[in-house]
């Protein structure tokens, strides 16, 4: 493998709260692997994160709402004011502001990942309405409902190849020490409940004073631990053939990295192998490292955020500290 770029800078970013409130388009018109077009694609947004093209629409998941805009393939900018199709919970209590969005394979449903407003429902469970959930709606914004709940901060979502199973990576709770609680990768079952805020990995969080609901009887334990405080954000399944066979059908996870741990964790891309039936066959393993510049001084070169597989089978990785988009491809 080779990395298509250079790592620059060395600093530790605490969060992703500062947003340019715009989407920038990078376009490679001559196929040399480098963008020769860079311009604003869509502006005047509110902390946008998730994006989706479905039919003749371009969807944007802002922190407080999902919007859609008329779109045609090859379009380099959007000037239409668009339409807000659904409000999302935000406001002053908005600790986890990212909103990711993905369509079902048949395009009939959209799924939006919404994180909790606080660590463990610190402001009361009523303030967490429609939070710590993956929401489902129709492409026009109608029929909004909770598809799965008890997911403290789900971010990356993708469909396991060859299946109709949705998977997500989730950032777990803070305040229980360096090694608790592990972030995780899990399949997402319709109407499933994954424990937040009352349960983490089968244990009861005694700090939570809210009455325990009956749904706890159906608690679902997550599938794969990916390390405590790794801030696992991006998720993509590898559905191409360019990488060696061991990576086919498996999951790549971008770990933004810890900010509250005595020894840094995360700051890398890990890989989880899957079998032909869409089931994980092992633990996560390092795939792309080198982002930590000085472990003792907590200096880092970058913080991975999102991962995408390109049509040629390469892997693109965004990094919000060095502000670089990395390309990982097979050396020729």
Q: pTM (2 decimals)?
A: 0.94
CA distance 108 to 106: 6
Q: How far apart are CA 218 and CA 192, in angstroms?
A: 8
- The count of domains in the chain is 1
Q: Which tens digit of pLDDT belongs to each residue from 233-256?
A: 999 999 999 999 999 999 999 999
% of the chain beyond a pLDDT of 90: 85
The CATH number of residue 40's host domain is 2.120.10.30
Which residue, among 250, 260, 202, 197, has the nearest Cα to 228 in the 3D structure? Answer: 260
Higher local confidence (pLDDT), 301 or 18: 301
List of residues 6+ apart from 239 with CB closer than 8 A = 161, 249, 309
Question: In this structure, are residues 65 and 47 in contact, taking their beta carbons and an 8 Å threshold?
Answer: no
Q: Which residue has the higher pLDDT, 153 or 5?
A: 153
Q: Which domain holds residue 57?
A: 2-329
């Amino acid at each position: 493998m080779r990395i298509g770029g250079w790592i620059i800078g060395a600093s530790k970013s605490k969060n992703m709260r500062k947003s340019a409130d715009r989407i920038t388009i990078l376009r490679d018109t001559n196929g040399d692997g480098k963008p020769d077009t860079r311009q604003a694609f869509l502006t005047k947004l509110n902390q946008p994160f998730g994006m989706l093209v479905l039919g003749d629409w371009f969807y944007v998941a802002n922190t407080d709402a999902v919007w859609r805009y008329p779109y045609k393939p090859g379009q380099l900018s959007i000037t239409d004011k668009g339409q807000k199709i659904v409000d999302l919970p935000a406001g002053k209590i908005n600790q986890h502001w990212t909103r990711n969005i993905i369509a079902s394979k048949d395009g009939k449903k959209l799924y939006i990942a919404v994180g909790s407003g606080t660590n463990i429902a610190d402001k009361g469970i009523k303030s967490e309405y429609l939070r710590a959930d993956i929401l489902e709606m129709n492409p026009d914004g109608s029929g909004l409902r909770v598809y799965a709940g008890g997911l403290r901060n789900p971010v990356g979502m993708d469909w396991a190849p060859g299946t109709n199973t949705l998977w997500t990576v989730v950032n777990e709770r803070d305040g229980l020490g360096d090694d608790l609680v592990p972030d995780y990768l899990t399949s997402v079952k319709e109407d499933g409940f994954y424990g937040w805020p009352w349960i983490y990995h089968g244990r009861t969080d005694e700090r939570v004073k809210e009455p325990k609901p009956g749904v706890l009887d159906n608690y679902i334990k997550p599938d794969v631990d990916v390390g405590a405080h790794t801030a696992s954000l991006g998720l993509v399944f590898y559905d191409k053939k360019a990488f060696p066979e061991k990576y086919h059908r498996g999951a790549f996870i971008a770990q933004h990295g810890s900010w509250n741990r005595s020894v840094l964790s995360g700051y890398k891309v890990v890989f989880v192998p899957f079998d032909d039936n869409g089931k994980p066959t092992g633990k996560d393993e390092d795939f792309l490292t080198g982002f930590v510049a000085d472990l003792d001084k907590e200096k880092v070169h970058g913080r991975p955020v999102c991962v995408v597989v390109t049509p040629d089978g390469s892997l693109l990785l965004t990094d919000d500290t060095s502000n670089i988009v990395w390309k990982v491809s097979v050396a020729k």
